[in-house]
Amino acid sequence: MRLASCIAAALVLCAASPALASSTIACRSTISPADGPELWLSVGSGEAGGITGASLTLGRETLTAGQGPNAPVISQAWIDRYTLRLDLVDANAESRLVRLDARRRRGSDYLGTLVHAGRTWRVRCEEEG
């Protein structure tokens, strides 16, 4: 009986543990996916979830939040069922490098705009595996 109680307690604790999962969202140009920017977002789940990482690639340029000295940082980020927003700024938070503003209307993808280096692209953001 004591063994059964221990097993039952262990099962209850495992079932009550929060899931520590994350996912990736990829945003690509809807006009020229091969030539436009690619923005990869790491998204955590659970109560402390949200956008935890960002990396932009455009041609030979790559900006990755928090990677290396003078790396850009995420200054503001928001994700919910209908909205996806991100501001990526320089290490001193003196200038905005990337702004993403996307909305979900139907389906699972977010549609919106990405602004970088004075240029605006229409983008589609979708969850990757």
Strands 22-29 and 119-128: antiparallel
Which element (helix H / strand E) includes 96? strand 96-103
Tokens of 3: 């063994």
Global pTM?
0.79
**Could you give all domains of the chain from N- to C-terminal order, each with its CATH number?**
20-128 (2.40.128)
Q: Which of 68, 77, 94 is nearest to 25 (CA)?
A: 77
Residue 3 has pLDDT above 80, yes or no: no
Compute and round to an integer the Cα radius of gyration of the chain. Answer: 19
pLDDT of residue 10: 36
As a whole number of Å, the end-to-end CA separation of the chain is 43
In this prediction, residue 129 carries a pLDDT of 65
Which pLDDT does position 7 carry in this prediction? Answer: 34
pLDDT, tens digit, 9 for 90 and up, residues 48-59: 779 999 999 999
φ, ψ dihedrals at 2, nearest 5°: -65, -40
What's the chain's average pLDDT? 84
Does pLDDT of 98 surpass 50?
yes
- Supply the pLDDT for residue 105: 83
